[in-house]
């Protein structure tokens, strides 16, 4: 009987959750849930500049939005410094590490002097036997020969030559530990069985393995390095050029279910080929071994499609509720919730949007006293010679009769016929006069909700504007 798996998501707090990080978190979570294992959250903040509490809160709330919950933690490496100190002391005591007072500039300068393009530290302080003191870091003494190999669940067998590994720093001059020791100590101490993370960390495995060995840990996690997420140019997503923060998608009106569904399909494909699927089914079918080896382009076009599908699948009342945050942030934010006019229009809006953020813009004309007139739309719709006559006739026809969509529909269709116009053409001036735009939710339903009074007012003022020249 093997013990239940233990996995971890270990982000460095940067103030936002990177979409790539979100995906590795998701893969860890799915793996934990399907195996009955535990997911631990560990904040890798050994770099003092990064350890700020509010940065951690962002990660926590965003994971929560995604629906990723964890079973242990968050542990903060900044609160576990004593463990790493002990580890470094052991390394020093056993002669597996040594002190070094070379500054990064020194290392770089010597490298340039050597002329060879070989990078990295040259082992300058290996045998200097320096005493502790300010400006002194600690480096691990890597073996000069031999190989380090391991089996990666997605990459297969991977091996490195020790000779290619430089003496890396385990403790900085300010006495803080580096990622490598903290990682080795924590994965071992926390009994992490599977380290599922981004491929950018593949190269750090040999160092960590050597550290675990030197520290006397017998525990070894099974590694699984998932492919990176890249941009259209196949390069690492950059914060400058792309939306890499999950928060941007949340604020952009994406549904967490859609976002998660999309993320699952980057580097993995469902065995039955059904891409739009509840997370439960992915938890049932996901296999780490099936994760692709090649990098995936984070293509938001597909995300958009998924989001639209998920929005349309929402229960009407749920859709209305989910739109609330997006109404809260417009100038004309409704004072009561849910606002009646929107509730009436919601089903019609729901099947037309790609993101929730678009919703207020489709119904603003119902809330604004002044029509949000778009000049280009006006030009386009009113340039038709029959426009004034259509408005006149519509004002006339809408002055009486039942105020319901079907009737309004029929009346305008008849007016159109009089001018030899199809309804599609005839409704244009009316639509722009009343909603300010050429596109929007179905017109007659919109008018019904708006009411006779407001509709006639807007038609009349459009007519006046037309009479006064443009």
Among 137, 211, 415, 434, binds RNA (CB under 7 A): 137
Q: Which stretch binds RNA (CB under 7 A): 247-255, 268-276, 330-338, 389-397?
A: 268-276
Taking a C-beta distance cutoff of 8 angstroms, is the pair 434, 447 a contact? yes
- The token pair that represents 339 in the structure block: 């606002």
Question: Is 301 annotated as catalytic?
Answer: no
Among 8, 155, 194, 463, binds RNA (CB under 7 A): 155
Nearer to RNA, 12 or 456 (CB): 12
Query: Mask 234-263, x = binds RNA (CB under 7 A)?
Result: xxx---------------------------
Taking a C-beta distance cutoff of 8 angstroms, is the pair 246, 22 a contact? yes
Q: Which stretch binds RNA (CB under 7 A): 165-173, 214-222, 330-338, 450-458?
A: 165-173
Subset of 361-400 contacting RNA (CB under 7 A): none
CB atoms within 10 A of CB 438: 16
Question: What radius of gyration, in Å, describes the C-alpha atoms of the chain?
Answer: 31
Among 69, 164, 328, 464, binds RNA (CB under 7 A): 164
Among 71, 275, 392, 457, binds RNA (CB under 7 A): 275
Q: Which stretch binds RNA (CB under 7 A): 57-65, 232-240, 386-394, 458-466?
A: 232-240
Give yes or no for residue 313 binding RNA (CB under 7 A): no
Taking a C-beta distance cutoff of 8 angstroms, is the pair 215, 91 a contact? yes
Subset of 345-364 contacting RNA (CB under 7 A): 351-352
Q: How far apart are CB 335 and RNA at their closest, in Å?
A: 28
Subset of 392-451 contacting RNA (CB under 7 A): 405, 409, 422-424, 427-428, 431, 438-445
Q: How far apart are CB 469 and RNA at their closest, in Å?
A: 25
Nearer to RNA, 173 or 389 (CB): 173
Catalytic position from the list 90, 111, 233, 239: 239
> Helices marked H in 272-339 — which ranges?
279-285, 300-312, 316-328
> Helices marked H in 399-451 — which ranges?
405-418, 423-435, 443-450
Subset of 46-65 contacting RNA (CB under 7 A): 46-47, 50
Nearer to RNA, 104 or 451 (CB): 104
Nearer to RNA, 333 or 357 (CB): 357
Nearer to RNA, 96 or 409 (CB): 409
Q: Which stretch binds RNA (CB under 7 A): 53-61, 83-91, 129-137, 249-257?
A: 129-137
Q: Which stretch binds RNA (CB under 7 A): 154-162, 252-260, 329-337, 449-457?
A: 154-162
Query: Whole-angstrom Cα distance, residue 57 to residue 79?
Result: 16
| Dihedral sign computed on CA atoms, order 142, 227, 237, 49 | negative
Query: Whole-angstrom Cα distance, residue 288 to residue 271?
Result: 13
Nearer to RNA, 4 or 159 (CB): 159
Q: How far apart are CB 128 and RNA at their closest, in Å?
A: 13
User: Taking Cα atoms as reference points, which of 427, 380, 388 lies closest to residue 408?
Assistant: 427
Residue 316 CB burial class (10 angstroms; 0-12, 13-18, ≥19): exposed
Q: How far apart are CB 431 and RNA at their closest, in Å?
A: 7
Query: Whole-angstrom Cα distance, residue 13 to residue 54?
Result: 9
- Cα-to-chain-centroid distance, residue 246: 3
Q: How far apart are CB 349 and RNA at their closest, in Å?
A: 9
Query: Which CB contacts under 8 angstroms, 24+ apart, belong to 77-82?
Result: 77/42, 77/43, 77/44, 77/45, 77/46, 77/177, 77/182, 77/186, 78/43, 78/45, 78/46, 78/48, 78/51, 80/182, 80/185, 80/186, 81/46, 81/176, 81/177
Residues annotated catalytic, as ranges: 239
């Amino acid at each position: 009987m093997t013990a239940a798996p233990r996995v971890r998501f270990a982000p460095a707090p940067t103030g936002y959750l990177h979409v790539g990080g979100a995906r590795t978190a998701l893969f860890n979570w799915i793996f934990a849930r399907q195996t009955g294992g535990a997911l631990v959250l560990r904040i890798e903040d050994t770099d003092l500049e990064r350890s700020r509490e509010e940065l951690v809160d962002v990660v926590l709330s965003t994971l929560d939005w995604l629906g990723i919950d964890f079973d242990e933690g968050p542990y903060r490496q900044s609160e576990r410094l004593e463990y790493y100190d002990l580890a470094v002391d052991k390394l020093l005591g056993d002669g597996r590490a040594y002190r070094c007072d070379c500054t990064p500039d020194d290392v770089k300068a010597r490298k340039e002097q050597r002329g060879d393009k070989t990078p990295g530290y040259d082992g300058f302080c290996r045998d200097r036997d320096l005493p502790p003191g300010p400006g002194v870091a600690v480096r691990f003494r890597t073996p000069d020969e031999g190989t380090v190999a391991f089996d990666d669940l997605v990459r297969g067998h991977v091996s490195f030559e020790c000779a290619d590994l430089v003496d890396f720093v385990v403790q900085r001059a300010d006495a803080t530990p580096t990622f490598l020791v903290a990682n080795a100590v924590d994965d071992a101490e926390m009994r992490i069985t599977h380290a599922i993370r981004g491929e950018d960390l593949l190269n750090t495995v040999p160092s960590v393995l050597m550290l675990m060995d030197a520290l006397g840990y017998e525990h070894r996690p099974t590694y699984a390095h998932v492919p990176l997420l890249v941009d259209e140019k196949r390069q690492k997503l950059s914060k400058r050029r792309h939306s890499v923060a999950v928060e941007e998608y949340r604020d952009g009106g994406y549904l967490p279910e859609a976002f998660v569904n999309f993320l699952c399909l980057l580097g993995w494909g469902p065995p039955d080929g059904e891409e739009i699927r509840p997370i439960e089914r992915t938890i049932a079918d996901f296999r780490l071994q099936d994760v692709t080896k090649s990098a995936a382009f984070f293509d938001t076009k597909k995300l958009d499609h998924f989001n639209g599908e998920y929005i349309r699948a929402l229960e009407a009342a749920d859709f209305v509720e989910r739109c609330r945050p997006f109404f809260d942030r417009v100038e004309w934010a409704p004072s009561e919730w849910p606002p009646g006019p929107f509730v009436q229009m919601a089903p019609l809006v729901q099947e037309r949007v790609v993101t929730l953020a678009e919703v207020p813009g489709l119904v603003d004309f119902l809330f604004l006293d002044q029509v949000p007139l778009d000049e280009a739309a006006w030009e386009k719709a009113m340039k038709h010679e029959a426009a004034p006559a259509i408005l006149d006739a519509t004002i006339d026809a809408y002055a009486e009769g039942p105020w319901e969509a079907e009737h309004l529909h029929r009346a305008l269709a008849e007016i159109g016929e009089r001018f030899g116009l199809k309804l599609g053409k005839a409704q244009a001036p009316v639509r722009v006069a009343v909603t300010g735009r050429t596109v929007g939710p179905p017109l007659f339903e919109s008018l019904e909700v708006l009411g006779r009074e407001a509709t006639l007012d807007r038609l009349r003022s459009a007519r006046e504007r037309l009479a006064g020249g443009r």
